[in-house]
């Protein structure tokens, strides 16, 4: 059985993320969406809320499980028996960062990273963009899953 892990901050999970998860779910037998801490970022939503948002967004994908995890990504991949890490990239700026992470993770454990190019029509969507829309009271429909809109709006309290 081929298993992959799709790690990220997912703060919050967007339709761009969902597209990558959906495509990975056709390439792998089992997909874990792992909500993890990026030490370079201050989170807006708690890990528990991020998990809820990702779960409602992925609910129609039978071979996808959403988890939260801390520690090193390669250790998580080992514990889950994953043979690959999957990440989406929206362009050259994402590529530079993801190339570095892929090389670190391969150096640490030998695991390969598969980079999926974002669909052009979704490549403008990011978690940062969603948080900006929320900050200025603008609609987030079209950037996140329809079932996640209310959760996101109700949980986006000033921290």
How near is the Cβ of 137 to ligand PNS at its closest, in Å?
25
Q: Which is closer to ligand PNS, CB of 111 or CB of 151?
A: 111
Residue identified by tokens 């990220």 is 8
Rounded Cα distance, 78 and 147, in Å: 32
CA distances from 122 to 1, 14, 79, 102 (A): 30, 10, 32, 23
Q: What is the dihedral of CA 95, 11, 83, 77, to 10 degrees?
A: 120
DSSP 3-state assignment of 4? strand
Min CB(104)–ligand PNS separation in Å = 5
In whole angstroms, what is the distance from residue 14 CA to residue 152 CA?
11
**Cβ proximity to ligand PNS, 6 vs 151, nearer residue:** 6
For ligand PNS, the closer of residues 15 and 137 by Cβ is 15
Q: Scanning residues 59 to 98, which ones bind ligand PNS (CB under 6 A)? A: 72-73
Q: Identify the residue among 5, 6, 9, 145 touching ligand PNS (CB under 6 A).
A: 9
CB of 143 to ligand PNS, least distance (A): 16
- 17 given a catalytic annotation: yes
Whether 119 sits among the annotated catalytic residues: the reply is no
**How far is it, in rounded angstroms, from Cα 131 to Cα 27?**
30
Identify residues 11-40 at the interface with ligand PNS (CB under 6 A).
Answer: 36, 38
Q: Which of 8, 12, 16, 88 binds ligand PNS (CB under 6 A)?
A: 8
Annotated catalytic residues are 17, 41, 90, 127
């Amino acid at each position: 059985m081929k298993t992959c892990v799709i790690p990220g901050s997912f703060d919050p999970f967007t339709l761009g993320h969902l597209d990558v998860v959906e495509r990975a779910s056709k390439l792998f037998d089992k997909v874990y969406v792992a909500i993890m801490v990026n030490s370079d970022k201050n989170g807006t939503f708690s890990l528990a809320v991020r998990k809820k948002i990702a779960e409602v967004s992925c609910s129609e994908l039978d071979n996808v499980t959403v988890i939260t995890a801390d520690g090193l990504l390669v250790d998580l991949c080992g514990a889950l028996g994953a043979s690959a890490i999957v990440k989406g990239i929206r362009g050259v700026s994402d590529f530079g960062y993801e190339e570095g992470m892929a090389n670190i993770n391969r150096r640490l454990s030998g695991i390969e990273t598969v980079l999926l190019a974002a669909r052009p029509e979704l490549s403008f969507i990011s978690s940062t963009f969603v948080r900006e829309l929320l900050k200025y009271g603008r609609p987030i429909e079209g950037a996140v899953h329809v079932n996640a809109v209310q959760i996101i709006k109700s949980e986006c309290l000033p921290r």
